[in-house]
Structure 1
Amino acid sequence: MSKKNQPTIEPSGDDVVDLYIKRKKIHPREAVGFFQTVRVLTIWLTLTWFYSAPWLLWDKRQALLFDLPARKFYIFGFTFWPQDFVYLAVLFIIAAIALFFFTAWAGRVWCGYTCPQTVWTRLFIWIERLTEGNRNQRIRLDNSPWSLNKFVRRSCKHLLWGLLAFLTAFTFVGYFTPIRYLSFEIIEFSLSSWEMFWIGFFSIATYVNAGWIREQVCLYMCPYARFQSVMFDSNTLVISYDKARGEPRGQRKKEADYKTQGLGDCVSCNQCVYVCPTGIDIRDGLQMACIGCAACIDACDSIMDNMNYPRGLIRYTTENKLNNKKSKILRPRLIIYGLLLFCLSVSLAAALITRVPFDLEIIRDRNQLYRETADGLIENVYTLKIMNKSQQQQSYEIILSGINGMVLVGHSQISTTPGQVLLHPIRIQVDPDSLTEKRNKITIKIINITHAKQTVERETTLISPVFRR
């Protein structure tokens, strides 16, 4: 029948689907298997690092501290200032390209294994399972009327959720305020208004995101789910259901010869749906809501083992392999992403290794551009702003160049304490017979005596009222 001759079906009242459907709470069943073991390992590594990193010390100072009021970022042995923003920009570019690379290669592995929303949601579900029981028990508890048992279980769950949310917020703020100092402030009830605000804000955000809305963040709030399809191709590793092997699906006894019944390997147990944290059915094909956690793979493999069927009915594979076509791992898109990622990472590492841990700014005296001394010399006054970006005391030597016979009046050797911004006034005098222009270019070089190979030089102008030709 041609499209023109197809009948028009008017939807009845029962056929209309409300655009805004009330959320149905998802109770994912716990899956056990290889991929879930990997997930648990990555989750605990992620959480251990997050909660312990602010407590690490480096030279009697917090190893990781982003001191926004002082505009200093301490990362182990490095101290970064606003002038070092280029490193942060390159780091963000590397992170973006890494996301593109791994998505083009293996889909949403970031979402399934290391995304903060996934990590904390998994932890909150673990608490829910601890206080309310397994999936069936939680569903029965939801549907049961309020009782003392339900009140106690729910109270314990929300109390533990709240404590974990507070600990998470406290730790996060501890990356921006020294966490030991923050701990004493909490004990003494002396938190500042901003500290109270941010701890409260992130506590509520963690409690709501990981405890209540969970998969809704992935489905409606996360932009990554929207543009992931742009980075997928037919050679991308994704979690897929093998329809050719599994269909037609149907229940059967373990000993039955299901092939003679015309059935595929899928036994319609729905375990892949029960373990899914976003509540989708992977058998319907690749979907935007799939976060690539592989829980359905482990659940299906356990059923296949029980039925003595080969594993892999649901597996990591590519669209080409499912369609019996040749699949390519190395392809132009992946090679370009990989090369960009490698080059930028090496460049950033080299820049950090060769980074000069001090900086120089030259500020001219605006009140008096020049003056003539009693000896007939032309004198200009400058202020050297020297920033010690390192975490050790440094000594420097000032060297002038550009005009013959220049004399530095003031200390030519100075020292700075760790992280100090030193304002050092100097006077430069020169014989007017050596001047060839009214505005003469000179260079001020700072040599780090502590590390003789490190130098910084800046060009400035020496102004004279007269000059000789």
Structure 2
Amino acid sequence: MSQPDTQSPKSADSQSKAGQELDDTLYAVRQKVYPRAVSGRFATWRWILVWATQVIFYGLCWLPWGDRQAVLLDLVERKFYIFGWVFWPQDVFFLAILLIISAYSLFFFTAVAGRLWCGYACPQTVYTEIFMWIEEKIEGNRSKRMKLDQESMSARKLGLKAAKFGAWGALSLWTGFTLVGYFTPIQDLFKEALSFSFGPWELFWILFYGGFTYLFAGVMREQVCKYMCPYARFQGVMFDPDTLVITYDPERGEPRGPRRKGVEPKSVAKGDCVDCGICVQVCPTGIDIRNGMQYECIGCAACIDACDQVMEKMNYPKGLIRYTTENAMKRHWGRREIIGHVMRPRILIYAGVLIALCIAFVWGLATRSTLRVDVIKDRSTLSREVEGGLIANVYNLQVMNMTEKPRRFALSASGMDGIKITPNVPFEVDPAGHRSVTVEVAVPPESGKPGSNTVYIEVKALDDETVSVREKTAFLIPQ
């Protein structure tokens, strides 16, 4: 016989509340971060990289190069124009090498000094920095922005918010427009913008990329770095005790506490940290670096600039928060010992591989032929007897002129006695164009063995004899 349920309503209610409290602990409601503006050497470097990356991004597509723009990724024609080079789908090798170089660069810089990419050059960091600058210019400093968000809606608040969102939106749309300008000639795209006659795909990508720029840099901000970016998750695997990371020195800073300017820490039984909280206020992800290394830290060094300014005002030595390594912190190493351990075998291997890849990439570009020829044997007619008792095979040549000037080419064949190629007249290929040429190669029957024989077809530029391609192919002689 089952026992009756003796649980009281009060007990059930308390268990329900406990379950609700457990659920609440498993989900943290976002607390909006209001980063405080900071100045200093690392902030200066961040803005240098902001300017450098954005001048390149927004300006490069407007740079002329002859009768086109300097960088144009023409997906319709399947040609990438980069300054004086024209790249075809067959040049995917260079893209692969470039991606490998990028990956090794990421490994190298992360192993040396942590998340340098995230803190200084990542598009998310760069655009968030720009959006925060716009926000500060319109709404004011950190305290004014916090106060404005707490106010009830008014004409003033509505006007400030509208101005900020409008400036963000304009910048985002211009960013999307610029991105599309690398795939559609920017001059043509600008004319389409004046008449608002964009093609459907152009309009889609302008709105898509612009919308995500607005969402990531203006709305989500630190959430992208904390929850969406995979780099934040696997960065710990790439660190070791000799990686330079932003670190708070607890041995020097603790116990922390406020005091008047100029007071010697030992006289009040405290460390150098005055517990002002400015290092937290300037952090774009809202973490407290004094709690130790955290995956949310993007390595921007804003807390270093802020803490150094406070230390300077208190007449204390700088460097309470600094770039250092785990081993250096434990063993109290100086700068020389730190540098010696940073240049460890792992880093030297990364550097060696990276240098080798860069040399291979540059060498490949420098020795890259401006002519490409593909020889395809005509399978509809394997071999046949032609006038004069010769045996003939037919080939289709795909000739690519990889320069931006028209070129004339001559054909020749070799590899067997008495070999002839027809038509044997020069032909022209347009700038950055390709042409299909059908040729017939004929040989006397006795010049080769029955079955497959090796012949060579050569295509040579008439204006430059060093530009030539000699392709091997099979010549069939019937039994």
Instruction: Return the TM-score normalized by structure 2.
Output: 0.92
1:252 aligned onto 2:259: yes
1:363 aligned onto 2:376: yes
Q: Give the superposition deviation at 1:461.
A: 2.0
- After superposition, the C-alpha distances for 1:302-359 in whole angstroms (9 at most, x for unaligned) are 1111111111001111111111255402111101100000001001100110011221
After superposition, the Cα gap between the structure-2 partners of 1:347 and 1:176, relative to the gap in structure 1 and judged at 3 Å, is same
> Which stretch shows the higher mean deviation, 108-117 or 317-326?
317-326
Aligned to 2:34: 27
Aligned to 2:346: 333
Aligned to 2:363: 350
Aligned partner of 2:396 among 383, 391, 399: 383
Contact 1:301 1:312 in 2 (8 A): yes
Secondary structure class of the residue paired with 1:323: helix
> Which stretch shows the higher mean deviation, 152-161 or 194-203?
194-203
Q: Give the superposition deviation at 1:401.
A: 1.2
Aligned to 1:101: 108
Q: How does 1:116-155 map to 2 (within 5 A)?
A: 116-155=123-162
AA paired with 1:414? F
- After superposition, the C-alpha distances for 1:267-321 in whole angstroms (9 at most, x for unaligned) are 0000000000000000001110000111000000111111111110011111111
Secondary structure class of the residue paired with 2:403: coil
Q: CA separation in 2, counterparts of 1:288 and 1:362?
A: 54
AA paired with 1:114? A
Q: CA separation in 2, counterparts of 1:182 and 1:193?
A: 12
1:411 aligned onto 2:424: yes
- After superposition, the C-alpha distances for 1:137-160 in whole angstroms (9 at most, x for unaligned) are 000000000001000000000000
AA paired with 1:382? Y
Q: How does 1:306-325 map to 2 (within 5 A)?
A: 306-324=313-331
Q: CA separation in 2, counterparts of 1:255 and 1:319?
A: 30
Q: CA separation in 1, counterparts of 2:352 and 2:358?
A: 10
1:158 aligned onto 2:165: yes
CA RMSD, 1 decimal: 1.7
Q: Give the superposition deviation at 1:415.
A: 2.5
Q: CA separation in 1, counterparts of 2:191 and 2:419?
A: 55
Q: How does 1:51-450 map to 2 (within 5 A)?
A: 51-324=58-331, 326=333, 327=338, 328-450=341-463
Q: Give the superposition deviation at 1:451.
A: 3.2
Higher helix share: 2
AA paired with 1:385? Q
Secondary structure class of the residue paired with 1:382: strand
Q: CA separation in 2, counterparts of 1:255 and 1:367?
A: 94
Q: CA separation in 2, counterparts of 1:374 and 1:211?
A: 76
> Which stretch shows the higher mean deviation, 453-462 or 84-93?
453-462
Q: CA separation in 1, counterparts of 2:422 and 2:201?
A: 47
Contact 2:412 2:424 in 1 (8 A): no
Q: Give the superposition deviation at 1:258.
A: 2.9
Q: CA separation in 2, counterparts of 1:452 and 1:428?
A: 23
Q: CA separation in 1, counterparts of 2:29 and 2:470?
A: 65
Q: Give the superposition deviation at 1:14.
A: 9.6
AA paired with 1:379? A
Contact 1:238 1:316 in 2 (8 A): yes
- After superposition, the C-alpha distances for 1:104-138 in whole angstroms (9 at most, x for unaligned) are 00111110100000000110111111111000000
Instruction: Return the TM-score normalized by structure 1.
Output: 0.94
Q: CA separation in 2, counterparts of 1:67 and 1:260?
A: 70
Q: CA separation in 1, counterparts of 2:331 and 2:441?
A: 79
Q: CA separation in 2, counterparts of 1:417 and 1:363?
A: 21
Structure 2: which 5+ runs fail to align? 1-14
Contact 2:262 2:315 in 1 (8 A): no
1:464 aligned onto 2:477: yes
Q: Give the superposition deviation at 1:255.
A: 3.5
Aligned to 1:6: none
Q: Give the superposition deviation at 1:371.
A: 2.5
Q: CA separation in 1, counterparts of 2:161 and 2:296?
A: 28
After superposition, the Cα gap between the structure-2 partners of 1:367 and 1:71, relative to the gap in structure 1 and judged at 3 Å, is same
Q: CA separation in 2, counterparts of 1:254 and 1:13?
A: 49
Secondary structure class of the residue paired with 1:383: strand
- After superposition, the C-alpha distances for 1:48-90 in whole angstroms (9 at most, x for unaligned) are 1110011112222111111111111111111111111111011
Q: Give the superposition deviation at 1:15.
A: 6.9
Contact 1:399 1:412 in 2 (8 A): no
Q: CA separation in 2, counterparts of 1:454 and 1:184?
A: 39
Q: Give the superposition deviation at 1:412.
A: 4.1
Aligned length: 457
Contact 1:239 1:317 in 2 (8 A): yes
Structure 1: which 5+ runs fail to align? 1-9
Q: CA separation in 2, counterparts of 1:320 and 1:14?
A: 43
AA paired with 1:55? W
Q: CA separation in 1, counterparts of 2:416 and 2:264?
A: 98
Q: CA separation in 2, counterparts of 1:393 and 1:374?
A: 35
AA paired with 2:205? W
After superposition, the Cα gap between the structure-2 partners of 1:456 and 1:32, relative to the gap in structure 1 and judged at 3 Å, is same
Q: CA separation in 2, counterparts of 1:450 and 1:27?
A: 65
Q: CA separation in 1, counterparts of 2:263 and 2:346?
A: 47
Secondary structure class of the residue paired with 1:360: strand
Q: CA separation in 1, counterparts of 2:28 and 2:464?
A: 66
Aligned to 2:5: none
Q: CA separation in 2, counterparts of 1:213 and 1:456?
A: 54
> Which stretch shows the higher mean deviation, 222-231 or 444-453?
444-453
Q: CA separation in 2, counterparts of 1:317 and 1:414?
A: 65
Q: CA separation in 2, counterparts of 1:129 and 1:360?
A: 58
Q: CA separation in 2, counterparts of 1:12 and 1:266?
A: 38
Contact 2:245 2:299 in 1 (8 A): yes
Seq. identity, %: 47
Q: Give the superposition deviation at 1:13.
A: 7.3
Secondary structure class of the residue paired with 1:74: strand
Q: Give the superposition deviation at 1:416.
A: 1.5
Q: CA separation in 2, counterparts of 1:25 and 1:119?
A: 19
